[in-house]
Structure 1
Amino acid sequence: MIGRLEERDPDEHHRVATPLELFVDLASVIAIAAAAAGLHHALAEAHYLEGLLVFLITFFAIWIAWLNYTWFASAFDDDSVSFKLATFVFLSGSLVMAAGVTEFTHSRLIRVMVIGYVIMRLAMAYLWFSAAKGSARYRATCLRYGWSILAVQVYWVVLGLFLWEWAPPMLVLFAVGAVLELIIPFWSERAGMTPWHRHHIIERYGLLTIIVLGETLLSTSFALRETFDAGEVDVALIRLAASAAIITFAMWWVYFTREDSVQGREPWRIFTWGYGHIPIFAGAAAVGAGVAAAIDMQTHHAHAPLAAGHWAIAIAVAVYLVGLTIAREAFNLTGANRFILLAGALLSLATPLLPWPMESLATLMVATAAIRTILAKNDPKVVASFA
């Protein structure tokens, strides 16, 4: 029996993330950590291209499921038993998918991951149908979401359970499925934009960013542990850990700025901001994987050279900064200020060529964050937003 969910007020005061939403974030990060671990081991074994493709596939599946739940909850989470039970089903699917990520990473079999993903998406279809039943105003939008999600799941079941093999044609078919998933919100919201809460959504994205950045700090702690366990001071490892920590702090600094990251409710602006976080989240997760791989390389537990770790971290940082430029800077700042982070991204790609790659990247990130803060403080758009 389908429940009945009512819409929430998009201008509700003091709207914050709920404990249940944080629970969903935790489950999602377990899957993201599994994907990052796969990338870490691929880098260490010098399987660069294959490891990147596996990471992108797994990360996309995790991200698109989290995205749809997050925006739905912002608009229709009425704290009912029906909503909570459907969320628990969603969480169960996330755990199955996390287990499938590990299998996919090692054997390229995608069946378990697809099963977990489909469980999550069926839970979302149920939630959208429940919202359609309880909200006459947004019924058409909710029905579009529900039926289109079900249709695409048929595609994934056929592809993942009956056709899948690790070959270029299957990768193309996966890309087709990914495009279909991205189209669903565009098509559905054309029937009427759901009543999501702006400050709540900003907080939700920020919380996931913090958790993903925490993966890099975890890798940094591993570097320090390697030093202490060895019984002697490994200066090179300490330098790597210190640089990684500073880079992570600077990544946090450039994300959490004084102005709201998304302003207004125009569909084109919202979709740019929402989808623009794909490289932000993926880049942040990849930095952690790169740091973990660099530790293996530094301690001679990898087949790849240390330079590969430096390149992986620099590229991941660049992707992160480009994502921020697309999602926020191009809209919130004016003139040359819009390209401060883009300039930092381009310069970061040169740091692996320098004598002190990690230290150079850490210095560059701190400088980028400081310059962005100083210039944005007096930017006309930022000043106007606080007027």
Structure 2
Amino acid sequence: MSEDASELSSRLRHELRHRLRPMTGRDPGEKDRSTTPLELLYDLTYVLAFAVAAEQLAHQITEGHVGPAIGAYAFAIFAITWAWMNFTWFASSYDNDDALFRAATLIQMIGVIVLSFGLPVSFDTTAEGGSPNNLLLVVGYVVMRVPLIALWLRAARQDEAHRRIAVAYAVAIAVAQTGWLLSAVLPLPVPVIIALLVVLALGELVAPVVMERRLGSPPWNAGHIAERFSLLTLITLGEVVAATTAAVAALTSSRGWTPAAVVIIASGLVLAAALWWAYFLVPSRPILERWPARTFGWRYAHLPIFGAIAAVGAGLRVATAAVEEHELPVLRVALALAVPVATLIIMIFVTWSVLMRSYDLTHVPLLVVSLLPLVAAVVLAWLLGSGEPVDPADGRSLTLLVSVVVLVALSALVEVVGHETVGFSHTMRALDRGR
């Protein structure tokens, strides 16, 4: 058998037969490592969870429960994103693609679906003054994370070089999961539960940093992690496209295809494309492959990034509700769109700074100019909206709504144009300083 045929045979034997294999750790320096089909399938369940959270956020804002909705949404985004990050961290280190790893991953996907069913309960309870945590949501979280505990313990048994850190991760997840469960079942006052949830979230964020500094890191691959985060960002942006389609469908069902409908769908698609463009102007993979130690700060910056992207979809859903129900003022729509877009633009700036280890003040004018259309959208809605609900039959009201959507899309477009014209040189200067 020729060398090429032998190599092909060995590759197919590995890819097509998924018997148990040693979980001894992947090569952290492996070049051009790509996302697996199983990881992509896994991500799709999380995008579903993001969509449910965004839909609930939009519903509660529409009902006027803005403060509780934001609180419940922040809790939901942390729970969803942190579980995803935990699995991604483990898979980057120990994905051996055997039958046991696949089964554990599929079980976690079931947990994501169960958690998604608990999200409406979480938002409704929070709107009534209760805790965002509930038993159904925790059951989903348990199903998501218990298999991960078993996988870390398996890695600890089979990878002697990283045994201590693998055991530490298993213990940390088990302790945190116990805390989440207790916060849902104990009859504690709501302020105490909220405080407990905040402490648990902070503990989960701090624990990996402390553990890896003291015990060393598992063999995660920085380039692979960068690709995983980028792909989830890309898939989550699909929620913005879906929300844009829903907004236009609501408008065309009441008035047919009008210039306003065309402008809104064009603006929504421009918004999604511009946010995608802006995010991928940050050179995450090549920088993290060169300096893997920067991965921790970079990944934590993605917690608000994922939440902001999904919230942009929620803002477009609020615009849909404004057109369908004729009860929402334009100002509420403007805030629902402008706040998450502003958050995302700011976090792209922060992510660049963390990644490049540079706080280039020459980026500040670009950041300010990018945010100006968002400020204009809110001010315009405040001055001309007069608190009256959006009425598609009223040309003035509809024009104001369209203007708000256009200004929000313009903000993201300014961010892209600015980075393409001046941001590149700033990145190269920061890279030269880093060298």
TM-score scaled to structure 1, two decimals? 0.91
SS at 1:336's partner residue? coil
Where does residue 363 of structure 1 map in the other structure? 410
Counting matched residue pairs gives: 383
SS state of the match for residue 127, structure 1? helix
Does the alignment pair 1:104 with 2:122? yes
The amino acid across from 1:349 in the alignment is V
Match of 2:103?
Answer: 85
Sort the Cα spacing of 1:192 and 1:265 in 2 relative to 1 into closer, same or farther, 3 A.
Answer: farther
In the TM superposition, residue 293 of structure 1 has moved relative to its aligned partner by 0.5
For residues 225-374 of structure 1, the aligned pairs below 5 Å read 225-230=249-254, 232-257=256-281, 259-260=283-284, 262-263=287-288, 264-265=290-291, 267=293, 269-299=294-324, 301=325, 303-332=327-356, 335-339=360-364, 342-344=367-369, 346-347=371-372, 348-354=374-380, 356-374=403-421
Distance 1:204 1:103, change over 3 A: same
Q: Secondary structure at the match of 1:196?
A: coil
Task: Quote how far apart the aligned CAs of 1:351 are.
Answer: 2.7
Could you tell me which amino acid in structure 1 is paired with residue 41 of structure 2? F
2:263 aligned partner, one-letter code: R
Question: Partners in 2 of 1:218 and 1:330 — Cα distance?
Answer: 31
Q: Is the 8 A contact 1:43 1:51 kept in 2?
A: yes
Segments of structure 1 that go 5 or more residues without pairing to the other structure are none
1:133 corresponds, among 146, 157, 162, to 157
| Aligned partner (choices 8, 24, 27) of residue 42 of structure 2 | 24
- Report the identity percentage: 30
Contact 1:290 1:309 in 2 (8 A): yes
Q: Find the aligned partners of 2:92 and 2:335 in 1 and give their Cα distance.
A: 38
Query: 1:383: Cα distance to partner?
Result: 6.8
Distance change >3 Å, CA 198–CA 343, structure 1 → 2: same
Corresponding letter in the other structure for 1:142: A
The 10-residue stretch of structure 1 (354-363 or 179-188) with the greater mean CA deviation from structure 2: 354-363
Task: Give the C-alpha shift of residue 8 in structure 1.
Answer: 0.3
Match of 2:6 in 1: none
Match of 2:397 in 1: none
Which of 179, 193, 196 is 2:220 aligned to? 196
Distance in 2 between the 1:58 and 1:252 partners?
Answer: 23
Give me the CA root mean square deviation: 2.5
Give the drift of 1:330: 4.8
Contact kept? 1:43, 1:293, Cα under 8 Å = yes
The verdict on how the C-alpha distance between 1:3 and 1:121 changes in structure 2, with shifts beyond 3 A counting, is farther
Q: Unpaired runs of 5+ in structure 2? A: 1-19, 127-132, 381-399
CA shift for structure 1 position 226? 2.3
> Is contact 2:363-2:423 (8 Å) kept?
no
The answer to whether the 8 Å contact 1:337/1:376 transfers is no
Name the counterpart of 1:207: 231
1:114-153 superposed matches below 5 A = 114-153=138-177
User: What one-letter code is carried by the residue in structure 1 that aligns with 2:206?
Assistant: I
Larger Rg: 2
Task: Letter of the 1:106 partner, please give it.
Answer: D
CA distance in 2, matches of 1:341, 1:172: 37
Instruction: Tell me: CA distance 1:246–1:146, structure 2 relative to 1, closer, same or farther (3 Å).
Output: same
| Letter aligned with residue 196 of structure 2 | L
Question: Using a 3 Å threshold, how does the CA distance of structure 1 residues 345 and 158 change in structure 2: closer, same or farther?
Answer: farther
Is 2:371–2:411's contact at 8 Å kept on the other side of the alignment?
Answer: no
Q: In 2, are the aligned partners of 1:114 and 1:157 still within 8 Å (CA)?
A: yes
Contact map agreement 1:93 1:119 (CA 8 A) in 2: yes
